Amino acid sequence: MGATELVYLDHNATTPLCEEAWEAMVPFFRENWANPSSGYRFARRAREAVERARAQVAGLLGVTPEEIVFTSGGTESTHAAVHSAVALHPDRRHVVTCATEHDATLRTCEALVARGYEVTVLPVDAGGRLDLGAYRESLRPGRTACVSLMWANNETGLVHPVAEAAALAHECGILFHTDAVQAAGKVPLDLAGLRVHYASLSAHKLHGPKGVGVLYVNRGARFQATQLGGGQEGGRRSGTLNVPGIVGMGAAAEAARRHLEADRGALAARRDRFERDLAQRVSGMHVHAAGAPRLPNTSNFRMDGVDAQGAILLLDTRGVCVSSGSACATGSIKPSHVLTAMGLSSRPARETLRVSLARTTTDEEIDVAVEALTAAVGKLRVARP
């Protein structure tokens, strides 16, 4: 099946490359394939392109280019940030995070527990919200090495109060990292005005290429690198730079910055129409995190008595791509840890679907998805024993 026949509504998983990124990348595969660290003139174009990309990403975040470190993606950035924070404070053996974080954060924290750290995993309410009072209580001045709190959740789209959480951590002298992978390009991230020390980004979530990301390191924050070697990126991340990827990320960030304001309103309107139209056609539809601040592109919902895996298969036969709130783990269906943390039992979690839009999503695609979902619900509810 070609991409043109698809109704792709899974943009929180990954996004198609935008034209700007593709155009910017091609010359760095074909003609300008030099290692940007080399000393001869042939390498200068690559070096300049990397610096342009650094400025473009900095522009999206409202920070300075020196604060941008290129990595291989969101997972590496988060790993580097948390490990930097604990390495900088060897006497502090406590870390704070949240139950609905991405596995990149949760697995990194688990590895710390195995090394004898104490990790406070803060709960969320039924809407996916963090209790800021409980968060404040969890901070231990002089003993907590860092907080890692995602800006926006990849499944529900819930947006955490990162500005407030970062300020509270700052008051306690604690390093603050935010996984902004899903937020970047969808909501404004004016990091310069916040007490955020580290932030993770991933190019492929904002119409850039896969396998490239950014770690923002606030210029006032110390940083201890985990990936050592040739000393690239000012010693903050060694390894030969992925020039085409970085250039693509820069162009995608620049395009996201240009489109951001218009996209936000249009995305939210389309997402809301999707939810309204589906609720009119299908009884027993419940939108998760509906009353909380949400990313404008994300809808996470369940439909009573409709198995999400079955719905995904039926939608797939019509070329409609969405994802579910559960994953197949060693032969059994495991509900997502995000929904479980929000108090959903395994059955409603297995009835949960995620639809995530992008600026390329059209009204017609929304209509096709609503139609396909309505038909799938008809079949699956009849088929239910």
The one-letter code for the residue type at 287 is V
Contact predicate 86/112, CB 8 Å: yes
179 near ligand PLP, judged by CB under 6 A: yes
Residue 201 or 372: the one with the smaller Cβ distance to ligand PLP is 201
Q: Which of 46, 112, 149, 181 binds ligand PLP (CB under 6 A)?
A: 181
Q: How far apart are CA 78 and CA 288, in angstroms?
A: 26
The answer to whether residue 74 forms part of the interface with ligand PLP (CB under 6 A) is yes
- Name residue 90's amino acid: P
CA distance 193 to 201: 18
Q: What is the DSSP letter of 159?
A: B
Question: Minimum distance between the CB of residue 104 and ligand PLP, rounded to whole angstroms?
Answer: 5
Between residues 92 and 197, which has the closer beta carbon with respect to ligand PLP?
197
Site string for ligand PLP, 91-130 (x = CB under 6 A): -----------x-x--------------------------
12 or 56, CB closer to ligand PLP? 12
Could you give phi then psi for residue 214, rounded to 5 degrees? -140, 140
Quote the least distance from Cβ 9 to ligand PLP, whole Å: 16
Chosen residue from 128, 185, 208, 213 binding ligand PLP by CB under 6 A: 213
In 3D space, the residue among 178, 155, 125 whose CA is nearest the CA of residue 291 turns out to be 125
Tell me the backbone φ, ψ of residue 244, rounded to 5 degrees. -60, -40
Beta-carbon neighbour count of residue 161 at 10 Å? 16
In terms of DSSP bridges, do strands 332-335 and 285-287 run parallel, antiparallel, or are they unpaired?
Answer: unpaired
Q: By CB neighbour count within 10 A (0-12 exposed, 13-18 middle, 19+ buried), where does 190 fall?
A: exposed
242 contributes a contact to ligand PLP by CB under 6 A: no
Of the candidate residues 68, 98, 121, 150, the single one contacting ligand PLP (CB under 6 A): 150
Instruction: Mark 293-332 with x for binding to ligand PLP (rule: CB under 6 A) and - for no binding.
Output: ----------------------------------------
Among 154, 232, 300, 324, binds ligand PLP (CB under 6 A): 154
When binding is defined by CB under 6 A, the residue of 15, 148, 156, 202 that contacts ligand PLP is 202
Verify whether residue 98 is a known catalytic residue: no
| Structure tokens given for 87 | 């390495």
Q: What 3-state DSSP class applies to 170?
A: helix
Residues that bind ligand PLP (CB under 6 A): 73-75, 102, 104, 150, 154, 179, 181-182, 202, 213
Active site members: 328
